[in-house]
Amino acid sequence: MTVDARAALDRLLASLEAHYHAVSTRRTDDDPAVDDAYDVLADAFEAYDDALVRGFSETLPFYLADEDADEDDDTDDIDEDDLDDDEMDGTEIGDEDR
């Protein structure tokens, strides 16, 4: 099967346009058209990225984050401004005594 990177790029561009249209004409905060456009855009992005790799051994400078991994990773919830100096350097209060 031949991967057509140009066709995948055209699909990605059309998906970007459709996503913009869905967002700009959103009727409610949870408009399903926006969610659908998001999913189509994500699929088109992955197809284009794959076509570039297969056709040209090239990658894009960005990637889609895995939503499942984000839900499991609680370290992103920590704000460094809320940590004191000991916590930021990897030691915890009371570690000095060990």
Distance CA 40, CA 29 (A): 19
Burial of residue 18 (number of CB atoms within 10 Å: 0-12, 13-18, 19+) = middle
What range defines the domain where residue 42 resides? 5-97
pLDDT in tens, the chain (98 residues): 456 999 999 999 999 999 999 999 999 999 999 999 999 999 999 999 999 999 999 999 988 888 766 555 555 555 556 555 555 555 555 555 54
Burial of residue 31 (number of CB atoms within 10 Å: 0-12, 13-18, 19+) = middle
> Looking at the 3D structure of the chain, how many domains does it have?
1
Q: What is the pLDDT of residue 1?
A: 43
Q: What is the pLDDT of residue 94?
A: 54
Strands (E) in the chain, as ranges, are none
What is the reported pTM? 0.65
Q: What is the pLDDT of residue 98?
A: 46
Distance CA 11, CA 44 (A): 6
